[in-house]
Structure 1
C-alpha cells in the first residue's frame, strides 16, 4: 500500500514566508513516521493516513493561529496502482476484506467523536473518489451519510461537501472518509481545501 498527500499552504498575508516557516515545526513530531519531499509547488507527505492527517492538521492549525487568512490545499491518494508499496504506509485498516458499510460508518463516527478539540475554527470542502469499483456510488452515499452525522457537516455543494467546525474533528472526518470508504486495498483519492480566518465567511 502507498498513501500520502501533496499539500500546499497559502497564508493570505505579506508575511506569508514567516507564517509558513513558523508553522513547519508542527511537523516535527511526525518526521520519523513520514517521508517528506518539498519543491516550489507542494510538499509530499508519505505515511499512514492517521499520521498524514495529523501532520496536515497540526501544520494548518499552527499557521491559522497567527490570525492570518490561511488556506491549505491537498490531493490525497491511497492504493494507487502506479505507486510502489512502501513499508512506511502499512496500516491495519488497509488490509483484509471490506467490512459492511454500516459497520464502517459506526467506526468512523466513533473515531471522530474521540478527537480532542484543537481550538481553531475552520471551513473545508472535499470530494471523495473511490476508483475502479462498480459500486462506487454506494461507497460515496455511505460516506455522505457518515458526514451528515459527524458534527461538522455544513452543506452539500456542487461536486463537493462543505464542513465547518473545529479543525480536529474536521480533519478527522476527512481522514475517516479516506480510510473507511472504498476497498481497503483499493485506489481512493480526495481533493481537499481548508480555510481559516477568512474575511468572507459564508
Structure 2
C-alpha cells in the first residue's frame, strides 16, 4: 500500500482528516442505485437482500451504500447489486465511485480476511443486458496523470467497449458483464501504477434508457 500524499498539504494539522490514514489495502465503492419505477423500494431492497455481502463491509444510509474490503470482492458486490436489481424494460442508473489510497481513510470498517472466489460470481454470471457508462478517472499523486488516463482509454478500446471522449468523461457501451470487468481492470491498473498513490474512478451506468441515440 502506497502511503505518500496525493496532494500538497495533506498532512496539515488543521485539516479535518489530520492524523488519519491507513496502511491497509482497503478498496471501497460508494454508490447509489436509481430504478425509474414506482416499485423502486421493492427493487432496491430486493437487490440488497439478494446480494451476498459477506466478503465486504457494507453500510447503507439515506443517500447511498458503501462496500469496503479487497478490490475483487468490492467489485463483485457492486456488480451483483446492479444485476440483481435489473428488470427488463425498467430504466435504471447506478452512480458510484471506486477509491483506494485516500490519506483521509481509516483502518476500520472493512473485511480483509476473505480468500477464494468472489461470492456472487457464479450467481450472476449468466445475467446479460446492454448498458451505457460514462467514467472519469483521477490518478492522484501522479504528475503524468494524463498518461494513465490515456492508457485506460486504450484499454477500453482493446476490450471492445468503443470508448468515446465526451466533455469531462469517457463513454463506453457494451454488455453489463464486460463493462464491470473493465471498471475492475481500471482499478487493478491503478493499484499497480507506481506513481499513483490514490485513485478515484467515478462512473455512471444505465440500462433501458428512453433517450434515443442519434
Match in the other structure for 1:55: 77
1:75-112: CA deviation from partner (whole Å, max 9, x where unpaired): 22111111134673589xxxxxxxxxxxxxxxxxxxxx
Partner residue of 1:80? Answer: 102
Gaps of 5+ in 1: 92-115
Among residues 120, 135, 139, which one is paired with 1:126 in the alignment?
135
Q: What's 1:178 paired with?
A: 187
Change (3 A) 1:90 1:140: farther
Which residue does the alignment assign to 1:199?
A: 210
SS at match of 1:181: helix
TM-score, reference length from structure 2: 0.75
Higher helix share: 1
Q: How does 1:38-117 map to 2 (within 5 A)?
A: 38-85=60-107, 88-89=111-112
Paired with 2:151 and 2:45, the residues of 1 have a C-alpha distance of: 39
Q: What's the RMSD between the two structures over aligned residues?
A: 2.1
Q: Which position in structure 2 is the counterpart of 1:20?
A: 44
CA distance in 2, matches of 1:158, 1:65: 30
Structure 2 partner of 1:142: 151
Stretch of structure 1 that moved more, 58-67 or 70-79: 58-67
Give a deviation string over 1:129-169, Cα, whole Å, max 9, x none: 00012221121111111111111224221111111111111
Bigger radius of gyration: 2
How many residue pairs match? The answer is 176
Shift in CA distance, 89/81, structure 1 to aligned 2, threshold 3 Å: farther
Aligned to 1:100: none
Give SS of 1:65's match.
coil
Give the match for residue 103 of structure 1: none
CA contact (8 A) 1:5 1:75 kept: yes
Distance in 1 between the 2:103 and 2:112 partners?
A: 14
- What is residue 7 of structure 1 aligned with on the other side? 31
